[in-house]
């Protein structure tokens, strides 16, 4: 059975956008596969991303609140059509009741969510005409009466970190029962893993003159050799020399948006994170993420004679013992 997205993020249904974002960031840091080595962490991280991609978008969240986990299968003009009594055998339909999503639902033995007739005031509603095109109703019933809109469909779109950061136009080809189809897709700058891009009218075909559904492209960010994404924050290793770490220095750090300068404070050790505010993934409707540079102190793999001499001199005069530090 699908999990409730509010439950996944651990927020109440009344949570505002800031609360949802804060909950996502906290959980993403905890369960990111690069941080959490538990085998179950990756699946948990995917659930968190999916929940955030739905609840962070006001329109998508509104549809989810009304229809629950099945909201992608409900045409966007569904309520208007039902209220007007169009295309469903006349008479109009009554509002859902008894559920946080607007209706009461049962579950079949396989765990799939199902609507039951007790969920509705059924007067004047032909259920097979209403749901036949979306849920496999009998062709004979769906073939009569008014048109039935097509179902929404979903596919994955894999992007590199740089492509997700910059956005732009991209041509993709998807296979299907009718053969391959190509699309020119506009990728918004700053898309994150789990976010969806809507291609209106490119989903399943409707019955009769019914409108086609939409195609949703779910963004998947490919693993990167340098960058690690946690939400909109970008994490990158920053190698520094032993003397830069000890004495302090200003060094360059590269991100998908270009190169920036960061100040390494004196006495910095491996593992310290330096934050560059606003240098993470862009956000078209809010604040961008941050870039975190994690210090990695490096020493010469094969010191030359003079380097070795200086290191030996330092070892002779220094009383520093990292194994005694608390």
pLDDT tens digits, residue range 4-36? 899 999 999 999 988 898 888 888 878 877 677
Residue 179 lies in a domain: yes
Global pTM reads 0.54
CATH number at residue 76: 1.10.287.110
Q: Do 190 and 252 sit in the same domain of this protein?
A: no
The answer on 213 and 315 residing in a single domain is no
Q: Provide the residue range defining the domain that includes 203.
A: 153-221
pLDDT digits (tens, 9 = 90+) for 161-218: 999 999 999 998 887 666 788 999 999 999 999 889 999 888 877 776 778 888 899 9
> What CATH number is given to the structural domain containing 171?
2.60.260.20
pLDDT at 146: 52
Read off the pLDDT of residues 108-152 as tens digits, 9 standing for 90 and up: 333 333 333 233 333 333 333 333 333 344 334 434 445 667 778
- Would you call 67 helix, strand, or coil by DSSP? helix
Residue 74 lies inside a defined structural domain of this protein: yes
Task: Return the exposure string of 48-68: e unless at least 16 CB atoms fall within 10 Å of the residue's CB, then b.
Answer: bbbbbbbbbbeebbebbbbbb
> Are 27 and 126 within one domain?
yes
229 domain residue, yes or no = no
User: Residue 12 falls within a domain, yes or no?
Assistant: yes
**243 and 215 belong to one structural domain:** no
| Final residue in a domain of this structure, among 112, 142, 172 | 142
Give phi and psi for 57, each to the nearest 5: -100, 115
């Amino acid at each position: 059975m699908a999990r409730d997205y509010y439950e996944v993020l651990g927020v109440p249904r009344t949570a505002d956008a800031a609360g949802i974002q804060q909950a996502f960031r906290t959980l993403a840091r905890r369960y990111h596969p690069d941080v959490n080595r538990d085998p179950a962490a990756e699946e948990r991280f995917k659930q968190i991303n999916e929940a955030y991609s739905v609840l962070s978008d006001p329109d998508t969240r509104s549809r989810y609140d009304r229809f629950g986990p099945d909201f992608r299968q409900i045409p966007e003009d569904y309520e208007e059509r039902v209220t007007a009594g169009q295309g469903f055998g006349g008479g109009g339909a009554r509002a859902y009741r008894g559920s946080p999503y607007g209706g009461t639902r049962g579950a079949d033995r396989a765990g799939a969510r199902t609507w039951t007739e007790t969920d509705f005031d059924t007067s004047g509603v032909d259920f097979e005409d209403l749901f036949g095109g979306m849920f496999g109703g009998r062709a004979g019933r769906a073939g009569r009466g008014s048109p039935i809109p097509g179902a929404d469909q979903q596919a994955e779109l894999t992007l590199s970190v740089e492509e997700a950061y910059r956005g732009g136009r991209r041509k993709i080809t998807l296979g299907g029962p009718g053969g391959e189809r190509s699309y020119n897709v506009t990728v918004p700058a700053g898309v994150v893993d789990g976010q969806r891009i809507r291609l209106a009218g490119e989903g399943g075909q409707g019955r009769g003159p019914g409108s086609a559904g939409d195609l949703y492209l779910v963004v998947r960010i490919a693993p990167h050799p340098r960058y690690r994404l946690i939400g909109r924050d970008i994490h990158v290793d920053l190698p520094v020399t032993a003397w830069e770490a000890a004495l302090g220095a200003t060094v360059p750090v590269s991100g998908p948006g270009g190169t920036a300068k960061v100040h390494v404070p004196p006495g910095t050790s491996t593992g310290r994170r330096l934050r560059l505010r606003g240098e993470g993934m862009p956000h078209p409707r809010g604040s961008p993420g941050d870039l975190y540079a994690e210090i990695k102190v490096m020493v010469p793999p094969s010191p030359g004679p003079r380097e070795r001499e200086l290191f030996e001199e330092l070892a002779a005069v220094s009383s520093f013992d990292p194994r005694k530090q608390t």
